[in-house]
Amino acid sequence: MTQTLLITGASSGIGAATARAAVKAGWQVALLARSRDALEKLAAELGDAALALPCDITERDQLSEAVAKTVERFDGIDAVYANAGKGSSSPGIEQGDPDDWHAMIHLNVLAVLTTAHATLPHLRKTKGHFVVTGSKAGRDHMKGSVYGATKWFVQGLAGNLAEEMREWGGRCTLITPGMVDTPFFDEPKPDKIQPDDVANAVVFALSQPRSADVREIHIMPSG
């Protein structure tokens, strides 16, 4: 039976690469992001295995509707990849922009929580898998990095969620890449980790037998 993976932040970068890798591995995918044009283009590329669901996941009603449409189309959810996130346009704390922090924390922290909250009832039914994008920045102390602090939250949440999910046979995996060459940055970073590298790690975690609970995959550039 074909399994279903719901991906947030699916329109580009790591999310889009993961959608392609998952479909290649035999999954159906629900694609969530704000960019309607990019999502629909990706869904058309992937064919009947993909469902484009343009939405703003920081809006709980839109997120809940997207989850419901996924279940209606694919008859359930077997895995979730909470990948959506953003950085800060102004580094540091003293010189930082509190309004920018608010938007970033809403997406990087609260939206991860609400994605888990909205999908866990469905994952419980399938003894499913929750995967979330952390960062090397959530494992190190970085001068004045509010972004890094949001990823420290994700680091802790993933471990706590894994303990909650294991009570009913579910699993949670944290993906912690270093710098990835994605639209997250203003300039290309061709010498850094590629989105396909992260996508392959996600599919690897999802492909493990139920006897193996892969809690974290940490990826760094090889050069």
Q: What is the DSSP letter of 178?
A: S
In whole angstroms, give the CA distance from residue 158 to residue 148: 15
CA 223 to centroid of chain Cα atoms: 25
Identity of the amino acid at 145: S
Q: 15: helix, coil or strand?
A: helix
Answer left, alpha or beta for residue 78, where phi above 0 means left and psi between -120 and 50 means alpha.
alpha
Q: Which residues are catalytic?
A: 147
Give the ranges where 75-194 is alpha helix by DSSP (H): 98-105, 111-126, 146-165
